A = this chain, B = another copy of it.
Amino acid sequence: MKIAVLGTGAGARAHIAKLAALGHDVHVGTRDPQATLARTGPDMMGTPPFKEFLAEHPGICLHTFGDAAAQGELVINGIDGHNAVAALTAIADQLAGKTLIDYAVPFIYQHQTEHPWPTPWGVMPKLDPCDTDSLGEQIQRALPRTKVVKSFVTQEQTTVVNPQAIGGGDHTMFVAGEDADAKQQATDLLKSYGWTDILDLGPLACARGMEMYAHMHSAIGFGLGQHFGGHFGIKVVR
């Protein structure tokens, strides 16, 4: 299947590598392909240059966001939360009629504000939107012709694509969205990743809880002594 992944960060790379290994035709989108390929050092999150990743994964095509979205029959959004709505709105035509799986957390980082707020983790990003709205809903409102599914967001992206690495895979992944067929596409993709317990939370408003879980996820990682390592999952026991 032709799948577009928008973004070149660590999370996007986990999906790109897994999708390629599963035999999909993967099209990667970035804001400025030339700039992405020109980078020689790690980015501010410590991620190595994307061209090193491409060298290890031949056959991956790098495009602009719009060209990648145009290629994909299914699109995964890995654009950072702070920029996602604007970047996706600019390519609304290329995303029309398609399923967009969004895993972005609407974090605002300290370098993006003059008013940091300390936590035990140093300076914890702040969520915006939060509580009475979600990034998933904002994206859906910005893209009324696209079927938005919120998923992946409650799990580190490296273990989203390899759930068996934790507890033999016996933990829970969530989907939310307005379109049943789009949620089924996301569910099928998750099954191909190895997930066995996939819970449909219902409408996209459930993205609020999924995104706000980010703080609990960080706290659990902190309690386990992993400081954002994220090598755990949560199982809904019922």
Q: Is the CB of B120 within 8 A of A205?
A: yes
8 A-B pairs with the lowest CB-CB distances in the bound complex, closest first = A209-B216, A209-B215, A167-B237, A201-B223, A209-B219, A206-B219, A232-B238, A117-B132
| Interface residues in chain A, defined as those with a beta carbon under 8 Å from any beta carbon in chain B | 117, 119-120, 124, 126-127, 130-132, 154, 166-167, 170-171, 174, 176, 199-203, 205-206, 208-210, 212-220, 222-224, 231-238
How many copies the complex holds: the figure is: 2
Looking at the complex, which one of B127, B222, B233 makes contact with A201 (CB distance below 8 Å)? Answer: B222
Q: Is the CB of A216 within 8 A of B215?
A: no
Can you give 9 contacting A-B residue pairs, CB < 8 Å?
A166-B238, A167-B238, A201-B222, A209-B215, A209-B218, A212-B212, A212-B213, A224-B236, A233-B237
Looking at the complex, which one of B130, B219, B223, B233 makes contact with A131 (CB distance below 8 Å)? Answer: B130
Looking at the complex, which one of B120, B154, B170, B203 makes contact with A120 (CB distance below 8 Å)? Answer: B203
A148 CB, nearest partner CB in chain B, Å: 15
Q: Is the CB of A235 within 8 A of B238?
A: no
**Most-contacted residue by chain B among A200, A209, A234 (CB, 10 A):** A209
Complex-state Cα separation, A238 to B119, whole angstroms? 24
Determine the chain B residues whose CB is within 8 A of the CB of A166 once the complex forms. Answer: 237-238
Q: Is the CB of A201 within 8 A of B215?
A: no
Q: Is the CB of B208 within 8 A of A220?
A: no
Looking at the complex, which one of B117, B131, B238 makes contact with A231 (CB distance below 8 Å)? Answer: B238
Determine the chain B residues whose CB is within 8 A of the CB of A213 once the complex forms. Answer: 209, 212-213, 216
Complex-state Cα separation, A236 to B212, whole angstroms? 17
Q: Is the CB of B215 within 8 A of A120?
A: no
Q: Is the CB of B233 within 8 A of A206?
A: no
Q: Is the CB of B232 within 8 A of A206?
A: no
